[in-house]
């Protein structure tokens, strides 16, 4: 299968480059800057990402350009453009002033294939402190802004292009056109990457990989593991056994509801209630990373005990997706946070690992689910952390705290599903592009708040107590924080601007109906710098 390799030099928008390439129906693989795959016949082009470093920094990331320059088309973006110039004999210097924000291309060489179809004065987005003051011999300037002479340059004798702006971001208005020119016209992508083709190819690969072996899959109730289960079920049928572990920190009535959904999908599922073990092992633990590790360890122990009953199993399947693997370990080797389904397997399990979704982003997983005819309520379900409400309760975990948060969260999520909003313009297009089923009438669509946002949940601030008054009595109880974000893949997210009347209603419902809560707050932090989850 054709692929574009994106070499990651640490930019915050590297994942966005990948998304834009995937939106062109072209498979891409994001790899650390120093891990270019040698002798891979499927690679049709290379993109070098931006970076937080200057090319002059001693610790700056460097790559041997001879591995691919002259052998296939190459596009350098921001740091990538500066690194190419610096390495091949050009000059990169500190800019007189840091160049951030909108700019317009006052000069464009429209004979350059990279700028085919560009309009005059096309808006782009700059974000760099250094600038290219001279390009190497054998290159020509192909675009300039008022302040940046070499906004883009290209080799005269090979398919090597570089831009100092970011075509992947929304504010570069023809950025998608530039990436299309590179990926489709210059690299020659056949644009055969789609949900349908992924299902067909992956089912075939799974059959070859697994054969008649038996597979065990740990279900979580979320869209990732559910889609992975249905995909495997299409490939190997009854040779798949799914295990759904209830660690006691699922949402209200979730274990019952999810088991029913899986039965309707025709999956072979075993449900295990292990809540007492998890609560006992988490008693008194307050550190977020420690809580995640305990839950991960206990899950493996419970899962392993059940898996041993499934004699003859040789594979463990997981619903790991691309952002899980990227966020768990960045290119410097530092862990951002532990994911419950990322990492090595216990040796005693003696199982090989199968991760059919490991190259997909969340919205791509949803498209695959729809391609296989899965129910919409499963596909549109918000992401939910593997450790469950344990990472939405600040401090130690007790059954009573979980009960409080389950009740508050249930009111919040039901409210989001029931509240309808009308959208038009760009917002409506964004929601429809995500696959939310809605009919456009007079330029508007009507959807629930739940479908409009990416992820929502309540957080119990159990380490905090606040004073309140209920009736004539003073209370001293816990605050609850509500979180709702908009996103496409969870790599970046912005807080959702929920209607005031909705927030007033939900706050009133939680305070009146959930014993132990006397204050409700709303989290207005974006990612970055804040993560979506609080722990």
Task: Look at residue 456 and give its three-state secondary structure.
Answer: strand
- Closest by Cα among 215, 285, 214, 216 to 244: 216
141 is catalytic: no
Check whether the bond before 529 is cis (ω within 30° of 0): yes
Buried/exposed code over 73-88 (b: 16+ C-beta within 10 A; e: otherwise): bbbbbbbbbbbbbbbb
- Residue 362 token pair: 């969340």
Cβ pair 416, 503 in contact under 8 A: no
Query: Strands 473-486 and 455-460: what pairing?
Result: antiparallel
Distances (CA, A) of 87 to 77, 80, 90, 469, 474: 15, 10, 7, 67, 69
Q: 86, 128, 168, 354: which is the annotated catalytic residue?
A: 168
28 is catalytic: no
CA distance 228 to 530: 29
CA distance 168 to 492: 13
- Closest by Cα among 16, 21, 29, 374 to 224: 374
**DSSP alpha helix (H) spans, 189-343:** 195-210, 223-236, 254-264, 275-282, 288-307, 322-328
Q: 28, 78, 187, 354: which is the annotated catalytic residue?
A: 78
DSSP letter for 530, please. S
CA distance 35 to 32: 5
- Residue 254 token pair: 């979730």
Question: Considering all CA atoms of the chain, what is the largest pairwise distance in Å, rounded to the nearest integer?
Answer: 83
Q: 166, 247, 339, 382: which is the annotated catalytic residue?
A: 166
Cβ pair 479, 462 in contact under 8 A: no
Cβ pair 219, 230 in contact under 8 A: no
CA distance 356 to 383: 18
- Residue 439 token pair: 């009919």
Cβ pair 76, 84 in contact under 8 A: yes
- Closest by Cα among 367, 147, 402, 371 to 283: 402
**Burial class of 326 by CB neighbour count within 10 A (0 to 12, 13 to 18, 19+):** buried
CA distance 62 to 45: 19
Q: What is the DSSP track for 30-67?
A: EEETT-PPTT-TTEEEEEE---SS-TTSTT-----GGG
CA distance 299 to 295: 6
56 is catalytic: no
The residues assigned a catalytic role are 78, 166, 168
């Amino acid at each position: 299968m054709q692929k574009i390799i994106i070499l990651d030099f640490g930019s915050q928008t590297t994942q966005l480059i990948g998304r834009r390439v995937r939106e062109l129906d072209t498979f891409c693989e994001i790899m650390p800057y120093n891990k270019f795959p040698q002798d891979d016949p499927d690679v049709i082009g290379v993109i070098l990402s931006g970076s937080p470093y200057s090319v002059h920094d001693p610790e700056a990331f460097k790559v041997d350009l001879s591995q691919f320059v002259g052998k296939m088309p190459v596009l350098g973006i921001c740091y990538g453009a500066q690194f190419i110039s610096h390495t091949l004999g050009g000059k990169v210097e500190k800019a007189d002033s840091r160049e951030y924000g909108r700019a317009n291309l006052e000069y464009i060489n429209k004979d350059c294939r990279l700028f085919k179809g560009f309009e005059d004065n096309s808006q782009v987005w700059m974000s760099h402190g250094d600038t290219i003051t001279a390009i190497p011999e054998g290159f020509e300037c192909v675009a300039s802004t008022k302040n940046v002479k070499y906004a883009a340059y290209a080799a005269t004798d090979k398919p090597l292009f570089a831009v100092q702006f970011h075509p992947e971001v929304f504010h570069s208005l023809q950025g998608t056109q530039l990436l299309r020119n590179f990926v489709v016209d210059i690299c020659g992508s056949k644009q055969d990457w789609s949900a349908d083709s992924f299902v067909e190819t992956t089912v075939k690969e799974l059959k070859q990989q697994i054969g008649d072996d038996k597979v065990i899959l740990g279900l979580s109730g979320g869209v990732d593991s559910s889609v992975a289960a249905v995909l495997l079920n299409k490939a190997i049928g009854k040779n798949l056994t799914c295990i759904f572990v209830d660690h006691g920190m699922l949402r209200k009535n979730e274990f019952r509801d999810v088991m029913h959904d899986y039965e309707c999908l025709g999956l072979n599922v075993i449900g295990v209630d292990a809540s007492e073990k998890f609560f006992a092992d988490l008693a008194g633990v307050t550190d977020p990373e420690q809580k995640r590790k305990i839950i991960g360890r206990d899950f493996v122990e419970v899962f392993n005990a059940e898996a041993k009953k499934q004699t003859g199993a040789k594979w463990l399947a997981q619903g790991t997706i691309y952002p899980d693997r990227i966020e768990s370990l960045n290119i410097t080797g530092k862990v951002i946070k532990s994911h419950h389904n990322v990492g090595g397997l216990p040796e005693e399990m003696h199982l090989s690992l199968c991760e059919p979704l490991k190259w997909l982003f969340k919205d791509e997983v949803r498209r695959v689910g729809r391609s296989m005819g899965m129910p919409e309520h499963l596909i549109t379900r918000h992401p939910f952390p593997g450790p469950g409400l344990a990472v939405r309760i600040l401090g130690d975990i007790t059954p009573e705290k979980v009960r409080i948060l389950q009740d508050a969260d249930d009111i919040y999520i039901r409210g989001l599903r029931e509240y309808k909003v009308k959208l038009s313009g760009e917002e409506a297009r964004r929601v429809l592009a995500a696959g939310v089923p809605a009919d456009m009438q007079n330029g508007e669509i009507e959807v629930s708040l739940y479908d409009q946002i990416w992820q929502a949940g309540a957080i119990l601030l159990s380490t905090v107590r606040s004073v309140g008054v209920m009736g004539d009595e003073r209370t001293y109880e816990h605050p609850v924080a509500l979180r709702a974000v908009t996103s496409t893949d969870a790599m970046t997210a912005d807080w959702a601007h929920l209607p005031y009347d909705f927030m007033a209603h939900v706050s009133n419902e939680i305070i009146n109906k959930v014993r132990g809560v006397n204050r409700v707050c709303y989290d207005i932090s974006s990612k970055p710098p804040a993560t979506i989850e609080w722990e």
